[in-house]
Amino acid sequence: MAGTIAAASALGMTAVLGGCGITGGSQDVTLKLVAADYGDSPANSSKKYWDKLAEEYEADHPDVSIDVSVYSWNDVDRKVREMVAAGDPPDMAQIGAYADYAAKNQLYKADDLLSIPVQADFVGQLASAGQVKGVQYGMPFAASTRVLFYNKTLFAKAGITPPESWDDLAEDAEALKAEGVTYPYALPLGPEEAQAETMQWMLSGGGGYTDSVDSYGIDSPENIDTFTWLKNDLVGKDLTGPVAPGELNRAAAFAAFAKGEVGMLNGHPSLMKTAAKSGVKYGMVPTPGNEGPSKSTLGVSDWMTAFRANGHRDQVGDFLDFVYSEKNVLAFSREYDLLPVTSSASGTMADSDEDRHLRPFLEELLASELYPVGKTSWADVSAQVKQQIGKAVAPGGSPSGVLGHLQAAAGRAESAE
């Protein structure tokens, strides 16, 4: 994943679906869609979702066929880049990023495609995150937020309650360590998804990757204070387990939680199923902040994009209106334990007993902040964070030095745009 919400569940399989739903006869327009696979087995591959969707749409639109290729998250962004480079872009691509294509004027604007009710239905934060210089090119497709997971059994044994603040978290971690818990707090700052854990902590300290005018502020006083606290009060007191945070990847932290070896960690919805399968009794609370529950949490979205090269604007727009209907958004979200990207589907999910397990995440969505994905420099900055941020909390490391180095790299990436 990194940077996408689905990589937690995708196992790297590749499934290709060609001409799904076509029943014969000549078609006036064929729309090519490349999509990512959110499934963790052939039984729940996204192939099945798109197959059903295409069949339903074609039944009412005999002059349009939908040709879908579904790839794993390991492959999908690269496949689309290769298609674009070869001069044969798909009509639509459901992928992890959009800003590079928008900057090169290769994408349709959302308001050139979608009907006004459909575009207005996107959750506000997600729609804003899909903009470049105030114009929406990225259409959110699936969303997720983060909460703090804790092991109820370990907490009961240690006689502690879930934390609300950093001080609470440190005290709980001390109590868990005294009970012999392997990872009192699992801090995955390894290269797999360090940019997510980093932003979660930055937000909890009142900072973030960018400032109020959307310029990078990686070495802000708030962020330096946050990582200084992590280094001194968690890592320095041996409360983060036997693996150095800079070497601990998210998948390994989740696996350790499922084995009952972790007291606390930040997690997204897929961890619920992983923990439940292993019989771990877990609870979830909002992310602790420096003085109480964090005022904001990390939100993540993947993106639907529409390329201009093939000129099928009207047909693409009509199909995407169908894709973003409440029924279809709900079906996808429920299949993969993700959050709806539209207000109508979010409202239905919030009121539905069927979706009660997702409510803690849904409640965090309105207070979430997303990566600065509208910046074409973000891919480079994210890669730098993954490689460098673990050094900020390592013995002998300098939070201000590492964050300053990352800020300088971000400035160079911005200048190169």
Classify residue 321: in a domain, yes or no. Answer: yes
Domains held by the chain: number: 2
* Choice among 231-240, 307-316, 367-376 with the minimum mean pLDDT: 367-376
Same domain, 277 and 182: yes
pLDDT of residue 52: 94
Question: pLDDT tens digits for 331-346?
Answer: 999 999 999 999 999 9
Question: pLDDT tens digits for 2-39?
Answer: 445 544 444 333 333 333 333 344 448 999 999 999 98
* Choice among 87-101, 199-213, 360-374 with the minimum mean pLDDT: 360-374
Same domain, 192 and 317: no
Residue 207 has pLDDT above 90, yes or no: yes
Average pLDDT in the chain? 91
Same domain, 126 and 35: yes
pLDDT of residue 5: 53
Same domain, 175 and 315: no
pLDDT above 90 as % of the chain? 85
Task: Provide the pLDDT confidence category of residue 228 given band limits of 50, 70 and 90.
Answer: very high
Distance between first and last Cα of the chain: 24
Same domain, 68 and 179: no
pLDDT of residue 90: 97
Last-in-domain residue among 355, 384, 400: 355
Range of the domain at 262: 147-286+375-415
Question: pLDDT tens digits for 267-306?
Answer: 999 899 899 999 999 999 999 999 999 999 999 999 999 9
**CA angle at 385 for the pair 139 and 13, rounded to the nearest 5°:** 55
* Burial annotation 53-86 (CB, 10 A radius, 16+ → b, else e): bbeebbeebeebbbbbbbbbbbbbbebbeebbee
Same domain, 153 and 129: no
**CA angle at 384 for the pair 370 and 341, rounded to the nearest 5°:** 20
Same domain, 136 and 238: no
Same domain, 116 and 161: no
Classify residue 366: in a domain, yes or no. Answer: no
Helix (H, G, I), strand (E, B) or coil at 401: helix
